[in-house]
Amino acid sequence: MDKNKKEQEKKKNWLGFQKKERIERIEMLENNDFLDKNTKKILLENENLPLEIANQITENNIATFSLPMGIAPNFLIDGKEYAVPMVTEEPSVIAAASYAAKIISKCKGFKTIALDRKMIGEIALYDIIDFEKAKNLILKNENKILEIANEAYPSIVKRGGGAICLEIKKLENFLVVYLTVDVKEAMGANILNTMLEGIKPLLEEITNSTALMGILSNYATKSLVTATCEIDSKLLGGNHVAKKIDLASKFAKIDTYRAATHNKGIFNGIDAVVIATGNDWRGIEAAGHAFAAKNGKYEGLTTWTFDEKINKLKGELTLPMPVASVGGSIGLNPSVTAAFDILKNPSAIELAKIIVSVGLAQNLAAIKALVTTGIQKGHMKLQARTLALFSGAKDGEVDLVVNTILEKKLIINSENIKNILEEIRNI
Ligand code: NDP
Protein backbone atom coordinates (compact mmCIF):
# COMPACT_ATOMS: atom_id res chain seq x y z
CA MET A 1 0.00 0.00 0.00
CA ASP A 2 1.47 3.43 -0.90
CA LYS A 3 2.15 6.04 1.79
CA ASN A 4 -0.76 8.35 0.83
CA LYS A 5 -3.30 5.55 0.97
CA LYS A 6 -1.94 4.48 4.37
CA GLU A 7 -2.27 8.07 5.63
CA GLN A 8 -5.88 8.25 4.41
CA GLU A 9 -6.82 4.99 6.10
CA LYS A 10 -5.16 6.10 9.33
CA LYS A 11 -7.19 9.33 9.28
CA LYS A 12 -10.48 7.49 8.97
CA ASN A 13 -10.43 5.94 12.43
CA TRP A 14 -13.18 7.77 14.34
CA LEU A 15 -14.71 4.61 15.81
CA GLY A 16 -16.55 5.39 19.03
CA PHE A 17 -15.32 9.02 19.05
CA GLN A 18 -18.54 10.32 20.62
CA LYS A 19 -18.39 7.77 23.45
CA LYS A 20 -14.80 8.50 24.45
CA GLU A 21 -13.60 10.65 27.33
CA ARG A 22 -12.32 14.16 26.50
CA ILE A 23 -8.63 13.17 26.79
CA GLU A 24 -9.21 10.10 24.61
CA ARG A 25 -10.85 12.27 21.96
CA ILE A 26 -7.82 14.58 21.96
CA GLU A 27 -5.60 11.51 21.56
CA MET A 28 -7.79 10.26 18.73
CA LEU A 29 -7.46 13.61 16.98
CA GLU A 30 -3.69 13.30 17.36
CA ASN A 31 -3.64 9.70 16.12
CA ASN A 32 -5.68 10.77 13.12
CA ASP A 33 -3.05 13.42 12.37
CA PHE A 34 -5.20 16.46 13.16
CA LEU A 35 -3.08 17.84 16.04
CA ASP A 36 0.41 19.11 16.59
CA LYS A 37 2.13 19.10 20.00
CA ASN A 38 1.40 22.76 20.78
CA THR A 39 -2.30 22.39 20.00
CA LYS A 40 -2.49 19.19 22.03
CA LYS A 41 -1.11 21.12 25.01
CA ILE A 42 -3.63 23.96 24.49
CA LEU A 43 -6.48 21.43 24.46
CA LEU A 44 -5.24 19.31 27.35
CA GLU A 45 -4.78 22.37 29.54
CA ASN A 46 -8.01 23.90 28.24
CA GLU A 47 -6.10 27.12 27.58
CA ASN A 48 -8.40 30.06 26.91
CA LEU A 49 -8.18 33.74 26.11
CA PRO A 50 -5.74 35.27 28.62
CA LEU A 51 -7.23 38.04 30.77
CA GLU A 52 -4.53 40.51 29.79
CA ILE A 53 -5.47 40.06 26.10
CA ALA A 54 -9.21 40.22 26.85
CA ASN A 55 -8.53 43.50 28.59
CA GLN A 56 -6.82 44.84 25.47
CA ILE A 57 -9.31 43.78 22.80
CA THR A 58 -12.60 44.96 24.32
CA GLU A 59 -13.61 47.60 26.82
CA ASN A 60 -14.53 47.54 30.54
CA ASN A 61 -13.30 43.96 30.86
CA ILE A 62 -14.09 42.02 34.03
CA ALA A 63 -13.64 38.36 33.03
CA THR A 64 -13.62 35.93 30.10
CA PHE A 65 -16.59 33.80 29.04
CA SER A 66 -16.34 30.13 27.97
CA LEU A 67 -18.33 27.94 25.58
CA PRO A 68 -17.91 24.23 24.76
CA MET A 69 -15.74 23.29 21.78
CA GLY A 70 -16.35 19.95 20.07
CA ILE A 71 -15.25 18.17 16.91
CA ALA A 72 -17.37 17.09 13.97
CA PRO A 73 -15.29 14.46 12.18
CA ASN A 74 -15.79 12.90 8.74
CA PHE A 75 -16.04 16.07 6.67
CA LEU A 76 -14.79 15.17 3.19
CA ILE A 77 -14.55 18.41 1.21
CA ASP A 78 -13.09 18.54 -2.30
CA GLY A 79 -11.38 15.22 -1.60
CA LYS A 80 -9.73 16.37 1.66
CA GLU A 81 -10.76 15.07 5.09
CA TYR A 82 -11.39 17.53 7.92
CA ALA A 83 -12.18 17.27 11.62
CA VAL A 84 -14.16 20.45 12.16
CA PRO A 85 -13.95 22.34 15.49
CA MET A 86 -17.33 23.73 16.50
CA VAL A 87 -18.08 26.09 19.39
CA THR A 88 -21.69 26.03 20.53
CA GLU A 89 -23.73 25.85 23.70
CA GLU A 90 -26.65 24.15 21.88
CA PRO A 91 -27.01 20.38 22.39
CA SER A 92 -27.20 18.10 19.33
CA VAL A 93 -25.66 20.57 16.85
CA ILE A 94 -22.26 18.83 16.70
CA ALA A 95 -23.82 15.35 16.68
CA ALA A 96 -26.11 16.34 13.80
CA ALA A 97 -23.28 17.85 11.74
CA SER A 98 -21.12 14.75 12.29
CA TYR A 99 -23.99 12.44 11.34
CA ALA A 100 -24.73 14.24 8.07
CA ALA A 101 -21.02 14.61 7.24
CA LYS A 102 -20.56 10.85 7.62
CA ILE A 103 -23.42 10.09 5.22
CA ILE A 104 -22.17 12.66 2.70
CA SER A 105 -18.58 11.35 2.96
CA LYS A 106 -19.88 7.97 1.76
CA CYS A 107 -21.09 9.73 -1.42
CA LYS A 108 -17.84 11.44 -2.46
CA GLY A 109 -18.25 14.27 0.03
CA PHE A 110 -18.84 17.97 -0.62
CA LYS A 111 -17.80 19.79 -3.77
CA THR A 112 -17.24 23.51 -3.34
CA ILE A 113 -16.52 26.55 -5.41
CA ALA A 114 -15.52 30.06 -4.32
CA LEU A 115 -16.95 32.44 -6.88
CA ASP A 116 -14.75 35.38 -5.79
CA ARG A 117 -13.07 36.79 -2.67
CA LYS A 118 -13.42 40.58 -2.57
CA MET A 119 -15.09 42.98 -0.13
CA ILE A 120 -17.33 45.93 -0.87
CA GLY A 121 -17.57 49.22 1.00
CA GLU A 122 -19.83 52.17 0.30
CA ILE A 123 -20.04 55.93 0.60
CA ALA A 124 -23.45 57.58 0.54
CA LEU A 125 -23.40 61.08 -0.94
CA TYR A 126 -26.30 63.53 -0.66
CA ASP A 127 -27.09 67.19 -1.43
CA ILE A 128 -26.43 66.41 -5.09
CA ILE A 129 -27.78 68.77 -7.72
CA ASP A 130 -27.01 66.91 -10.94
CA PHE A 131 -26.71 63.11 -10.43
CA GLU A 132 -25.57 62.29 -13.97
CA LYS A 133 -22.85 64.93 -13.85
CA ALA A 134 -21.69 63.75 -10.40
CA LYS A 135 -21.56 60.14 -11.58
CA ASN A 136 -19.54 61.03 -14.68
CA LEU A 137 -17.10 63.10 -12.64
CA ILE A 138 -16.51 60.20 -10.24
CA LEU A 139 -15.94 57.77 -13.12
CA LYS A 140 -13.59 60.26 -14.82
CA ASN A 141 -11.54 60.36 -11.59
CA GLU A 142 -11.77 56.63 -10.84
CA ASN A 143 -8.02 55.94 -11.11
CA LYS A 144 -7.18 58.86 -8.82
CA ILE A 145 -9.79 57.73 -6.27
CA LEU A 146 -8.46 54.14 -6.30
CA GLU A 147 -4.93 55.47 -5.90
CA ILE A 148 -5.94 57.47 -2.81
CA ALA A 149 -7.75 54.44 -1.39
CA ASN A 150 -4.59 52.36 -1.79
CA GLU A 151 -2.41 55.11 -0.30
CA ALA A 152 -4.66 55.03 2.77
CA TYR A 153 -3.83 51.30 3.34
CA PRO A 154 -0.53 50.58 1.56
CA SER A 155 0.24 47.29 3.35
CA ILE A 156 -2.63 45.44 1.62
CA VAL A 157 -1.23 46.58 -1.74
CA LYS A 158 2.17 45.18 -0.73
CA ARG A 159 0.41 41.87 -0.02
CA GLY A 160 -0.91 41.82 -3.60
CA GLY A 161 -4.38 43.20 -2.81
CA GLY A 162 -5.92 46.66 -2.76
CA ALA A 163 -8.73 48.76 -4.22
CA ILE A 164 -9.95 47.42 -7.56
CA CYS A 165 -12.93 49.33 -8.91
CA LEU A 166 -15.85 51.67 -8.24
CA GLU A 167 -19.54 51.21 -8.99
CA ILE A 168 -22.09 54.00 -8.67
CA LYS A 169 -25.81 53.82 -8.08
CA LYS A 170 -28.53 56.45 -7.54
CA LEU A 171 -30.82 55.43 -4.69
CA GLU A 172 -33.53 58.05 -4.21
CA ASN A 173 -31.66 61.21 -3.07
CA PHE A 174 -28.38 59.41 -2.51
CA LEU A 175 -25.58 58.76 -4.91
CA VAL A 176 -23.90 55.63 -3.58
CA VAL A 177 -20.31 54.86 -4.46
CA TYR A 178 -19.34 51.19 -3.96
CA LEU A 179 -15.64 50.39 -3.61
CA THR A 180 -14.42 46.82 -4.29
CA VAL A 181 -11.22 45.76 -2.54
CA ASP A 182 -9.12 42.62 -2.63
CA VAL A 183 -8.42 42.11 1.10
CA LYS A 184 -6.41 38.89 0.65
CA GLU A 185 -6.54 36.77 3.85
CA ALA A 186 -8.30 39.40 6.01
CA MET A 187 -12.04 39.98 6.52
CA GLY A 188 -11.32 43.56 5.56
CA ALA A 189 -13.59 45.75 7.70
CA ASN A 190 -10.77 47.95 8.98
CA ILE A 191 -9.01 47.91 5.62
CA LEU A 192 -12.18 49.05 3.80
CA ASN A 193 -13.19 51.58 6.43
CA THR A 194 -9.75 53.19 6.34
CA MET A 195 -9.83 53.39 2.54
CA LEU A 196 -13.37 54.82 2.53
CA GLU A 197 -12.42 57.51 5.04
CA GLY A 198 -9.46 58.26 2.76
CA ILE A 199 -11.52 58.85 -0.40
CA LYS A 200 -14.49 60.61 1.22
CA PRO A 201 -13.12 64.18 1.02
CA LEU A 202 -12.17 63.77 -2.64
CA LEU A 203 -15.63 62.43 -3.55
CA GLU A 204 -17.26 65.36 -1.76
CA GLU A 205 -14.98 67.77 -3.57
CA ILE A 206 -15.46 66.29 -7.05
CA THR A 207 -19.24 66.09 -6.75
CA ASN A 208 -19.79 69.19 -4.61
CA SER A 209 -21.90 67.04 -2.27
CA THR A 210 -21.84 65.81 1.33
CA ALA A 211 -20.87 62.32 2.43
CA LEU A 212 -23.30 60.84 4.95
CA MET A 213 -21.08 57.89 5.79
CA GLY A 214 -18.41 55.55 4.49
CA ILE A 215 -18.49 51.95 5.72
CA LEU A 216 -17.83 48.35 4.75
CA SER A 217 -20.90 46.43 3.61
CA ASN A 218 -21.49 43.07 5.26
CA TYR A 219 -23.53 42.07 2.21
CA ALA A 220 -20.45 40.41 0.74
CA THR A 221 -21.79 39.43 -2.67
CA LYS A 222 -18.26 39.30 -4.06
CA SER A 223 -17.31 36.57 -1.54
CA LEU A 224 -19.83 33.91 -2.50
CA VAL A 225 -19.09 30.25 -1.83
CA THR A 226 -21.16 27.29 -3.02
CA ALA A 227 -21.10 23.80 -1.47
CA THR A 228 -22.91 20.89 -3.11
CA CYS A 229 -23.37 17.18 -2.42
CA GLU A 230 -25.17 14.19 -3.94
CA ILE A 231 -26.46 11.51 -1.61
CA ASP A 232 -27.74 8.00 -2.40
CA SER A 233 -31.30 7.95 -1.14
CA LYS A 234 -30.82 4.54 0.51
CA LEU A 235 -28.35 6.16 2.94
CA LEU A 236 -31.16 8.48 4.01
CA GLY A 237 -33.66 5.69 4.58
CA GLY A 238 -35.08 5.42 1.06
CA ASN A 239 -36.67 7.46 -1.72
CA HIS A 240 -39.62 8.50 0.44
CA VAL A 241 -37.26 10.31 2.85
CA ALA A 242 -35.29 11.93 0.02
CA LYS A 243 -38.56 13.16 -1.51
CA LYS A 244 -39.64 14.66 1.81
CA ILE A 245 -36.31 16.47 2.15
CA ASP A 246 -36.83 17.89 -1.34
CA LEU A 247 -40.32 19.02 -0.29
CA ALA A 248 -39.03 20.52 2.96
CA SER A 249 -36.55 22.64 0.99
CA LYS A 250 -39.36 23.88 -1.31
CA PHE A 251 -41.49 24.66 1.74
CA ALA A 252 -38.69 26.78 3.24
CA LYS A 253 -38.58 28.85 0.02
CA ILE A 254 -42.25 29.82 0.29
CA ASP A 255 -43.06 30.12 4.02
CA THR A 256 -41.13 32.83 5.86
CA TYR A 257 -41.97 31.28 9.25
CA ARG A 258 -40.27 28.08 8.16
CA ALA A 259 -37.47 29.89 6.25
CA ALA A 260 -36.30 31.68 9.40
CA THR A 261 -36.05 28.41 11.34
CA HIS A 262 -34.56 26.53 8.37
CA ASN A 263 -31.82 29.15 8.13
CA LYS A 264 -31.35 29.27 11.90
CA GLY A 265 -30.52 25.56 11.68
CA ILE A 266 -27.95 26.24 8.95
CA PHE A 267 -26.36 28.92 11.14
CA ASN A 268 -26.25 26.50 14.09
CA GLY A 269 -23.38 24.89 12.21
CA ILE A 270 -21.95 27.94 10.48
CA ASP A 271 -21.74 30.11 13.61
CA ALA A 272 -20.12 27.28 15.55
CA VAL A 273 -17.17 27.13 13.12
CA VAL A 274 -17.05 30.90 12.62
CA ILE A 275 -16.77 31.37 16.40
CA ALA A 276 -14.21 28.54 16.78
CA THR A 277 -12.02 30.24 14.18
CA GLY A 278 -12.26 33.68 15.82
CA ASN A 279 -14.22 35.23 12.97
CA ASP A 280 -16.93 37.88 13.16
CA TRP A 281 -20.14 35.82 13.35
CA ARG A 282 -22.33 38.95 13.40
CA GLY A 283 -21.02 39.86 9.95
CA ILE A 284 -21.51 36.33 8.64
CA GLU A 285 -25.08 36.19 10.01
CA ALA A 286 -25.92 39.61 8.54
CA ALA A 287 -24.53 38.57 5.14
CA GLY A 288 -26.42 35.27 5.16
CA HIS A 289 -29.78 36.73 6.09
CA ALA A 290 -29.45 39.57 3.55
CA PHE A 291 -28.59 36.94 0.92
CA ALA A 292 -31.66 34.93 1.93
CA ALA A 293 -33.77 37.94 0.93
CA LYS A 294 -31.99 38.52 -2.40
CA ASN A 295 -35.12 37.62 -4.41
CA GLY A 296 -37.17 40.29 -2.64
CA LYS A 297 -38.54 37.83 -0.09
CA TYR A 298 -36.81 35.98 2.80
CA GLU A 299 -36.24 32.34 1.72
CA GLY A 300 -34.62 29.13 2.91
CA LEU A 301 -30.97 29.20 1.87
CA THR A 302 -30.46 25.57 0.84
CA THR A 303 -31.89 23.79 -2.19
CA TRP A 304 -32.45 20.01 -2.06
CA THR A 305 -33.69 18.22 -5.16
CA PHE A 306 -34.41 14.54 -5.42
CA ASP A 307 -33.49 13.01 -8.77
CA GLU A 308 -35.69 9.93 -9.01
CA LYS A 309 -33.91 8.63 -12.12
CA ILE A 310 -30.66 8.09 -10.27
CA ASN A 311 -32.05 7.84 -6.71
CA LYS A 312 -29.91 10.72 -5.54
CA LEU A 313 -30.68 13.73 -3.40
CA LYS A 314 -28.74 16.79 -4.54
CA GLY A 315 -28.01 19.57 -2.06
CA GLU A 316 -26.72 23.08 -2.64
CA LEU A 317 -25.91 26.01 -0.40
CA THR A 318 -24.53 29.34 -1.62
CA LEU A 319 -23.61 32.04 0.88
CA PRO A 320 -21.46 35.13 1.23
CA MET A 321 -18.64 33.83 3.43
CA PRO A 322 -16.04 36.56 3.98
CA VAL A 323 -14.17 34.82 6.79
CA ALA A 324 -10.51 35.53 7.45
CA SER A 325 -7.44 33.51 8.35
CA VAL A 326 -5.71 36.58 9.82
CA GLY A 327 -6.64 39.86 11.47
CA GLY A 328 -9.19 40.81 14.11
CA SER A 329 -8.53 38.69 17.22
CA ILE A 330 -7.36 35.63 15.26
CA GLY A 331 -4.01 34.55 16.71
CA LEU A 332 -4.65 36.18 20.09
CA ASN A 333 -6.89 33.43 21.45
CA PRO A 334 -5.21 30.01 22.00
CA SER A 335 -8.53 28.21 21.37
CA VAL A 336 -8.73 29.87 17.94
CA THR A 337 -5.14 28.89 17.20
CA ALA A 338 -6.06 25.31 18.15
CA ALA A 339 -9.12 25.37 15.88
CA PHE A 340 -7.04 26.59 12.92
CA ASP A 341 -4.44 23.93 13.60
CA ILE A 342 -7.04 21.14 13.72
CA LEU A 343 -8.28 22.39 10.33
CA LYS A 344 -4.62 22.31 9.15
CA ASN A 345 -4.39 26.09 8.89
CA PRO A 346 -6.66 26.74 5.91
CA SER A 347 -6.54 29.91 3.83
CA ALA A 348 -9.51 32.29 4.06
CA ILE A 349 -11.09 30.73 0.95
CA GLU A 350 -10.54 27.15 2.15
CA LEU A 351 -12.05 28.03 5.53
CA ALA A 352 -15.07 29.61 3.80
CA LYS A 353 -15.57 26.37 1.84
CA ILE A 354 -15.42 24.29 5.03
CA ILE A 355 -17.95 26.55 6.74
CA VAL A 356 -20.49 26.49 3.89
CA SER A 357 -20.16 22.68 3.76
CA VAL A 358 -20.90 22.51 7.49
CA GLY A 359 -24.01 24.66 6.91
CA LEU A 360 -25.23 22.26 4.23
CA ALA A 361 -24.57 19.21 6.45
CA GLN A 362 -26.32 20.84 9.40
CA ASN A 363 -29.38 21.56 7.28
CA LEU A 364 -29.53 18.00 5.94
CA ALA A 365 -29.44 16.54 9.46
CA ALA A 366 -32.12 18.94 10.69
CA ILE A 367 -34.61 18.43 7.87
CA LYS A 368 -34.05 14.68 7.72
CA ALA A 369 -34.93 14.51 11.43
CA LEU A 370 -37.92 16.83 10.93
CA VAL A 371 -39.45 14.80 8.11
CA THR A 372 -38.84 11.43 9.80
CA THR A 373 -38.64 11.07 13.59
CA GLY A 374 -39.04 14.77 14.43
CA ILE A 375 -36.25 16.56 16.25
CA GLN A 376 -37.61 16.20 19.77
CA LYS A 377 -36.52 12.57 20.13
CA GLY A 378 -32.83 13.47 20.08
CA HIS A 379 -33.39 16.81 21.79
CA MET A 380 -35.27 15.40 24.79
CA LYS A 381 -32.38 13.13 25.73
CA LEU A 382 -30.11 16.16 25.71
CA GLN A 383 -32.73 18.16 27.57
CA ALA A 384 -32.72 15.41 30.23
CA ARG A 385 -28.92 15.79 30.55
CA THR A 386 -29.24 19.55 31.00
CA LEU A 387 -31.98 19.16 33.61
CA ALA A 388 -29.89 16.52 35.43
CA LEU A 389 -27.00 18.99 35.61
CA PHE A 390 -29.33 21.75 36.85
CA SER A 391 -30.63 19.35 39.52
CA GLY A 392 -27.11 18.88 40.85
CA ALA A 393 -26.25 15.49 39.28
CA LYS A 394 -22.49 14.84 39.34
CA ASP A 395 -20.45 13.47 36.41
CA GLY A 396 -21.08 9.78 37.21
CA GLU A 397 -24.77 10.35 37.94
CA VAL A 398 -25.86 12.19 34.77
CA ASP A 399 -25.93 9.14 32.45
CA LEU A 400 -27.69 7.07 35.11
CA VAL A 401 -30.42 9.68 35.59
CA VAL A 402 -30.92 10.12 31.82
CA ASN A 403 -31.04 6.38 31.11
CA THR A 404 -33.48 5.79 33.96
CA ILE A 405 -35.94 8.48 32.89
CA LEU A 406 -35.83 7.22 29.29
CA GLU A 407 -36.30 3.57 30.35
CA LYS A 408 -39.21 4.47 32.60
CA LYS A 409 -40.68 6.57 29.73
CA LEU A 410 -41.47 9.36 32.19
CA ILE A 411 -42.10 12.94 31.10
CA ILE A 412 -38.78 14.77 31.02
CA ASN A 413 -39.13 17.60 33.53
CA SER A 414 -37.18 18.83 36.57
CA GLU A 415 -39.48 17.17 39.08
CA ASN A 416 -39.06 13.69 37.60
CA ILE A 417 -35.32 14.19 37.15
CA LYS A 418 -34.94 15.29 40.80
CA ASN A 419 -36.93 12.26 42.02
CA ILE A 420 -34.78 9.86 40.01
CA LEU A 421 -31.61 11.52 41.28
CA GLU A 422 -32.81 11.06 44.84
CA GLU A 423 -33.70 7.41 44.18
CA ILE A 424 -30.23 6.78 42.75
CA ARG A 425 -28.55 8.43 45.72
CA ASN A 426 -30.60 6.41 48.19
CA ILE A 427 -29.75 3.03 46.68
P1 NDP B 1 -7.44 43.93 10.71
O2 NDP B 1 -7.66 45.36 11.00
O3 NDP B 1 -6.89 43.08 11.80
O4 NDP B 1 -6.51 43.87 9.40
C5 NDP B 1 -5.92 42.72 8.90
C6 NDP B 1 -4.58 42.46 9.57
O7 NDP B 1 -4.07 41.23 9.09
C8 NDP B 1 -3.57 43.55 9.23
O9 NDP B 1 -2.84 43.88 10.39
C10 NDP B 1 -2.66 42.86 8.22
O11 NDP B 1 -1.34 43.27 8.29
C12 NDP B 1 -2.72 41.42 8.68
N13 NDP B 1 -2.38 40.45 7.63
C14 NDP B 1 -1.38 39.53 7.73
N15 NDP B 1 -1.34 38.78 6.63
C16 NDP B 1 -2.30 39.22 5.81
C17 NDP B 1 -2.77 38.79 4.53
N18 NDP B 1 -2.19 37.78 3.88
N19 NDP B 1 -3.82 39.41 3.98
C20 NDP B 1 -4.44 40.43 4.63
N21 NDP B 1 -4.05 40.89 5.84
C22 NDP B 1 -2.99 40.29 6.44
O23 NDP B 1 -8.74 43.17 10.22
P24 NDP B 1 -9.79 43.51 9.11
O25 NDP B 1 -9.50 44.73 8.32
O26 NDP B 1 -9.93 42.26 8.35
O27 NDP B 1 -11.08 43.82 9.97
C28 NDP B 1 -11.70 42.79 10.67
C29 NDP B 1 -12.10 43.27 12.05
O30 NDP B 1 -12.94 44.40 11.94
C31 NDP B 1 -12.89 42.22 12.78
O32 NDP B 1 -12.44 42.20 14.12
C33 NDP B 1 -14.32 42.78 12.73
O34 NDP B 1 -15.07 42.30 13.83
C35 NDP B 1 -14.10 44.25 12.77
N36 NDP B 1 -15.13 45.14 12.25
C37 NDP B 1 -16.21 44.70 11.52
C38 NDP B 1 -17.12 45.59 11.00
C39 NDP B 1 -18.25 45.07 10.17
O40 NDP B 1 -18.33 43.88 9.94
N41 NDP B 1 -19.15 45.90 9.66
C42 NDP B 1 -17.00 47.04 11.24
C43 NDP B 1 -15.81 47.39 11.98
C44 NDP B 1 -14.92 46.48 12.47
P45 NDP B 1 -0.88 44.72 7.81
O46 NDP B 1 -1.18 45.62 8.96
O47 NDP B 1 0.55 44.55 7.52
O48 NDP B 1 -1.70 45.05 6.61
Packing angle of the helix pair 256-276, 93-105 (nearest 10 deg): 90
What kind of fold does domain 119-216 have according to CATH? Alpha-Beta Plaits (3.30.70)
Mean pLDDT across 116-138:
97
Q: What is the pLDDT of residue 5?
A: 55
| CATH assignment, 377-426 | 1.10.8
Tell me the pLDDT tens digit for each residue of 342-395.
Answer: 999 999 999 999 999 999 999 999 999 999 987 666 667 778 888 888 889 987
Tell me the pLDDT tens digit for each residue of 305-318.
Answer: 999 999 999 999 99
Q: pLDDT category, 1, cuts 50, 70, 90?
A: very low
Specify the residue with its C-alpha closest to ligand 1, atom 42: 189
Q: Domain limits of the chain?
A: 3-115+224-372, 119-216, 377-426
Residues acting as catalytic residues: 90, 264, 280, 379
**Cα–Cα distance for residue pair 412/381, rounded to 1 Å:** 8
Contact 54, 64 (CB under 8 A): yes
Mutate to test the pocket of ligand 1, among 56, 217, 280, 284 (most ligand atoms within 8 A of CB): 280
Q: Flag whether pLDDT at 396 surpasses 90.
A: no
CATH 3.90.770.10 corresponds to the domain 3-115+224-372: yes
Decide: 188 in ligand 1 pocket, CB within 6 A.
yes
Higher pLDDT: 2 or 180? It is 180
Decide: 192 in ligand 1 pocket, CB within 6 A.
no
Q: Flag whether pLDDT at 170 surpasses 90.
A: yes
Burial category of 164 from C-beta neighbours within 10 Å (exposed 0-12, middle 13-18, buried 19 and up): middle
What is the CA(278)–ligand 1 centre distance, in A?
12
Tell me the pLDDT tens digit for each residue of 51-82.
Answer: 999 999 999 999 999 999 999 999 999 999 99
Decide: 315 in ligand 1 pocket, CB within 6 A.
no
